[in-house]
Structure 1
């Protein structure tokens, strides 16, 4: 959609159509960025959650508490990330890859035959 909208922006017949397409293009990029940014933030926060457990003074407690903390730390060692269906994880790297692919698609479609 990003590449196609970019090509349509260049081929817009009136300036009003170009404004509408530009607004739509900005909205597409902003929406994709918000999903990828927050998913990336959730991913890195989920990777740090188990550090809080081990940073406590769990080693000075009795055996029952130490065993429970070790089990809790193992359970919290799972990553949480948003996905786009079964296709990909939404991260900032994915956002950049999508923009690069869209730009490639745009350059392919915008070439005029001479």
Structure 2
């Protein structure tokens, strides 16, 4: 997954760079545009659902508190206390414990792709 994100950022930058160089309205232009769109959607999907898992798991402890726990047995109350303590920390999906799948990560990937594109464009510009 880490390799996929890194290569996707580089591929996006390269596709954007080639998109600038080709003739607009050509077949290659639309091919590159579709390729870029599919890469963006693929990365966004992983990051979106990773973010959703984090948000939903953050609400588990509160949902347990909101349940009708006062009418439960003493054993059930003890289990609910342990459950609530264990669900205080939200679940975060990560890739090799390097970064989390979230919308913040998605924006970082997009920013790095634009930075790579800018670098390639500056290196290609004649002086």
Superimposed CA distance per residue, residues 49-93 of structure 1 (whole angstroms, 9 cap, x where no aligned partner) = 111111123234342221111112123334222223332111001
The answer to whether the aligner puts 1:6 opposite 2:13 as a matched pair is: no
1:23-67 CA deviation, whole Å, 9 max, x = no partner?
101111111111111110111001111111111232343422211
Structure 1 window deviating more from structure 2 (53-62 vs 29-38): it is 53-62
TM-score where L is the length of structure 1: 0.87
Q: Counterpart in 2 of 1:70? A: 81
1:44 aligns to 2:55 (yes or no): yes
1:1-114 paired onto structure 2 within 5 Å? 1-12=11-22, 15-111=26-122, 112-114=125-127
- Structure 2 Cα separation of the partners of residues 97 and 61 of structure 1: 46
2:79, 2:97 → 1: CA distance?
34
Gaps in structure 1 of 5+ consecutive residues:
none
Indicate the RMSD between aligned Cα atoms, in angstroms. 1.9
Whole-Å Cα distance in 2 between the matches of residues 76 and 24 of structure 1?
A: 40
Q: How many residues are treated as equivalent by the alignment?
A: 114
